[in-house]
Amino acid sequence: MTNETEKPAKRSQQYRNWLSLSGAIIALGSFFSFILLFAFDFISHHGNPYMGILAYVVAPAFLILGLLLIALGAWIERRHSRRIAAGAARHALTIDLSRQRDRRALIGFIAGAVLFLLVSAFGSYQTYHYSESVHFCGQTCHTPMNPEFTTYLNSPHARVACTECHVGSGATAYVKAKINGVHQLVCTFSGHYERPIKTPIKNLRPAQETCEQCHWPSRFVGNLDRTYSHFLADETNTPFTVRLLLKVGGGDSRHGPAGGIHWHMNLANKVEYIAGDERRQDIPWVRVTETNGVVTEYRTPKFTDDPAKHTIHTMDCMDCHNRPAHHFRSPDDAVDLALSLGRVDTSMPWVKSNLLAALIQPYAAEADALQKIATTLRAQYPNDPKAEQLVAEARQLYRNNFFPEMKADWRAYPNNIGHKNWAGCFRCHDGLHKSTTGKRMIPASDCNSCHTILAQGSGPQLDQLNAKGHGFFHLDAEYSDFSCVNCHTGAFTK
C-alpha cells in the first residue's frame, strides 16, 4: 500500500518493549536488594556465612537475569523491525496517554514495578533474618546437620544462635566463614560431606571471639557441688551415686584466688600443647609460659621430637568444654539419666543392661534401629505392662544421641570435660608428663586436687558427707590404675 520504508527502530527504541522493561525492573530490584543485603552484612555484629551467598551470588544472579531480559527484549524487537521491512505491521511500544487502554496498562505496570521493588527489599530483609536463624543452619541441610541440631536443642545453649558460636567477629573470621559457607552449601547439595563430620572444627576458634562474648572469662566460679547418678548393670540396677565438690576456682586474681580447674584460663599464663592425633585425644607435649617469662615444658617419655616440627595449639575454653552445644551422651550416661529421672522403672530386672545393649547394636539407619530396639525390648519383657513405656523411652534416647546415617554418636565425639569415658583431663594429667627438672603436672592419682568426693554409694551412704573427701571406693571391681577409659568405654553391659 505504502511505499514509505520504515527504518529499523533506533537503539533506544529497541528497548521500548515489555520484556526489556520487566528485565530493567528485575535488574533494578536485585540491585537494590544487593545494596540492602550488603549493608546488613556490613553493619551486623555477627556476620553470617550464608548472607554472602545471598548478597554476592543470588542477588547478582538476578541482576544478570534482568540484564539478559533487557537484551532479549531488544533483540526480539530488532528482529521485529527487520520484518517490518518485509511488510509486517510494526508493534513498537508506543504509549499514548490519551488512549484509555494505554493509561490502564501503564498504571498497572508502574504499580507492579513498585510492588516488586518493595517486595524484593522486604524479601531480602526477611531472607537476611532467616539465614541468621537456627532453623536455617540446623534444618536446611537436614541430613548432615541433624546430629548437631538435635544435640543442640537438648543443650544449655539451645537458645544461642548457631552463628554466635560458629562465626566469630573480626575480618578474617568473617571472610573465612563466607568461603566456608559457600563450600558447605556446595558439599550439601552434592552429598560430599564426611560422615561423621570431623571434629574439632578448626575455624571455630579462638574462644575469645565466641564463648567469651557471653561468658566473662575472669569470672570466679569457686566450688561447684555436682551429683552424678549411676546404676550398675546388674539384676537389680543398683544405684551408685557420686557427689563431688568440683574445685573450679577462677583464672583472675582480681576477682578471687586464681587457681583450681579454671587456673588454665589464668589471664597471666599461657598454656600450649601439641596433639598427636586429629581429634586431639593424645597430647604428648605441653608448655606453660608465665607472665614473668618462666617457661616450663612437659612431655611424655615417648615424645622425643622437636616441638617446632608440630602445630602448637593454645589452650582455651573449648579444650575442656568442647561439647557445650552438641553433647552426644554415652549410652551409659544417657540410660543412667533416664533411670535417675524415673523415666524408666528401675524395678524391671536387668533393665539398665538390656536397654544399653539394645541401643549400642550397629544399626544401618534410624528407622531400622527404632524398630529393632522395640522388638528386642518387647521380647525381653513380654508380659510387663511397663514395656511400652520402656520402648518409648529407648527410642527417644536413641533419637537424641545416635545418628547412624551420619555415623555420629559418643564414639565419634569425645567429651573432654571429665575423665571417665574419655581421657579428657587425663590427656595431660596422666602423671606421665614431666618437665626436664622432673616437675610433674597434677597426676591422675591425686584425685583431691580437682575435686573432693563428698559422698558416694546409695541410700544412707549418701548421707555420710566428708568435707575432706572420701577415698574413692570403686565397687568390688578390680581397680589398680587410674586410666578409667581402659575399662569405661561408655557402654557397660552384662
Contact 228, 245 (CB under 8 A): no
**Toward ligand HEC, which CB reaches closer, 20 or 415?**
415
Backbone dihedral angles phi then psi of residue 14, each to the nearest 5 degrees: -60, -25
Q: How far is CA 276 from CA 115, 283, 300, 301, 444, in A?
A: 60, 6, 12, 14, 20
In the bound complex, what is the minimum distance in angstroms from residue 426's beta carbon to ligand HEC?
7
**Which three three-digit cell numbers place residue 14?**
529497541
In the bound complex, what is the minimum distance in angstroms from residue 218's beta carbon to ligand HEC?
9
In the bound complex, what is the minimum distance in angstroms from residue 33's beta carbon to ligand HEC?
26
**Toward ligand HEC, which CB reaches closer, 178 or 451?**
451
In the bound complex, what is the minimum distance in angstroms from residue 134's beta carbon to ligand HEC?
5
**Toward ligand HEC, which CB reaches closer, 112 or 257?**
257
- Residue 206: beta bridge partners? none
Contact 181, 50 (CB under 8 A): yes
Report how far residue 164's alpha carbon sits from residue 170's, in angstroms, rounded to the nearest whole number: 13
Backbone dihedral angles phi then psi of residue 70, each to the nearest 5 degrees: -60, -45
Report how far residue 322's alpha carbon sits from residue 326's, in angstroms, rounded to the nearest whole number: 8
Burial of 97 by CB count in 10 Å (0-12 exposed, 13-18 middle, 19+ buried)? exposed
Amino acid making up residue 189: F
**Toward ligand HEC, which CB reaches closer, 395 or 451?**
451
Instruction: Name which of 261, 234, 237, 238 is nearest 250 in CA terms.
Output: 261
Report how far residue 221's alpha carbon sits from residue 142's, in angstroms, rounded to the nearest whole number: 38
For residue 89, the Cα-to-chain-centroid distance in whole angstroms is 64
In the bound complex, what is the minimum distance in angstroms from residue 296's beta carbon to ligand HEC?
5
Report how far residue 196's alpha carbon sits from residue 201's, in angstroms, rounded to the nearest whole number: 12
Backbone dihedral angles phi then psi of residue 120, each to the nearest 5 degrees: -70, -35
Cα dihedral sign for 332, 338, 340, 346?
negative
In the bound complex, what is the minimum distance in angstroms from residue 225's beta carbon to ligand HEC?
10
**Toward ligand HEC, which CB reaches closer, 19 or 211?**
211
In the bound complex, what is the minimum distance in angstroms from residue 454's beta carbon to ligand HEC?
11
**Toward ligand HEC, which CB reaches closer, 436 or 486?**
486
**Toward ligand HEC, which CB reaches closer, 47 or 66?**
47
In the bound complex, what is the minimum distance in angstroms from residue 304's beta carbon to ligand HEC?
19
SS3 224: strand
Report how far residue 115's alpha carbon sits from residue 475's, in angstroms, rounded to the nearest whole number: 74
